[in-house]
Amino acid sequence: MSKNLPGPLRYLPELVALAKPGVTLLVIITTVGGLWLAPGQLSLTTLAAALVGTVLVVASANTFNCYLERESDKYMQRTRNRPLPAGRIPPHIALIHGFVLAAISLPALFVGVNVTTGLLALLALVSYVAVYTPLKRIGPVALLVGSVPGAMPPLMGWSAVTGGLELPGLVLFGILYVWQIPHFLAISIYRATEYQRAGLRTLPLVRGVRVAKWHALFWSLVLLPVTLALFPLGLAGPIYLTVSAALGLGFVIYALAGLRSTADEVWARKYFLYTLVYLMTLFAALVVDAGPAHAH
């Protein structure tokens, strides 16, 4: 049906796919978490600008990423059917779309929300596209860099309300930053062959799967106290404390299980899926059980 649409509209489904809708859903969840937890209130127009601007700037970053990796994406099962490697959309259309999204989202955040949120968005966009994406071909340090823009949405949600970078907002950033590392280590273990074909130098490929598993355990252990920190800060209540402790212990247990000699790609895939369930459940508990410091 899209082929019958006039002009550039025929590419609409492909342009949506370039934004990586699954990633966008996580962005919405974590941004709403930051917006909900921050003390204060927003007008409906500012709230709309914050949500739409954040989603669109992430869509812009993802579109640029798809453009830059359109050749290497052909070598990976999970990416070879994306619009660009599959040839369903010309590269120049995708590139223009990325710039259009940036041209809409950044002013929406700078003008429609506040300068702090706009600067965070700009930092996320530039670091993801110009630093993280090329670093993936150089070495595993790319993961530590790429987790910075990936952790921005809840902090942007927080700063949209407060206009600042207070400690609770930075803890929200820290939760998402730390969570991403074992999350992506898991996928890089069970997709190791594909990453190798694509020429991306992940930790399992550069230093071995065993080292990657130890790193996953380390960051799983770090994640537990970071998530629990929201309780003493007054941002979360006892229900969140209980849920986050249980989820965090499950995270560590899963990582420990990976150290067994029999743990293979099946374990890594299950661990990856657990990280997704973990994040959505954690932020749901946060929204449900906001603490006394949360005042609307």
Residues 163-214: pLDDT tens digits? 999 999 999 999 999 999 999 999 999 888 888 888 889 999 999 999 999 9
Q: What is the pLDDT of residues 91-123, one digit of tens each?
A: 999 999 999 999 999 999 999 999 999 999 999
Specify the pTM. Answer: 0.90
Predicted confidence at residue 11, as pLDDT, reads 82
Distances 236 to 46, 61, 225, 242, 293 between C-alpha atoms, Å: 25, 31, 14, 10, 8
pLDDT of res. 168: 92
Q: How far is Cα of residue 4 from the mean position of the Cα atoms in its chain?
A: 34
- pLDDT above 80 for 8: no
Tokens of 262: 């029999």
Of 20, 54, 27, 32, nearest to 284 by C-alpha is: 32
Give the pLDDT band of residue 77 (cuts 50, 70, 90): confident
pLDDT at 293: 60
- Higher-pLDDT residue of 76 and 156 is 156
State the CB neighbour count (10 A cutoff) for residue 280: 13
Higher pLDDT, 23 or 181: 181
- Average pLDDT of span 129-134: 93
Sequence-separated (6 or more) residues with CB below 8 Å from residue 214: 259
> What average pLDDT does the chain have?
90
Copy the structure tokens of residue 56.
Answer: 């669109």
pLDDT confidence band for 1 (50 / 70 / 90): very low
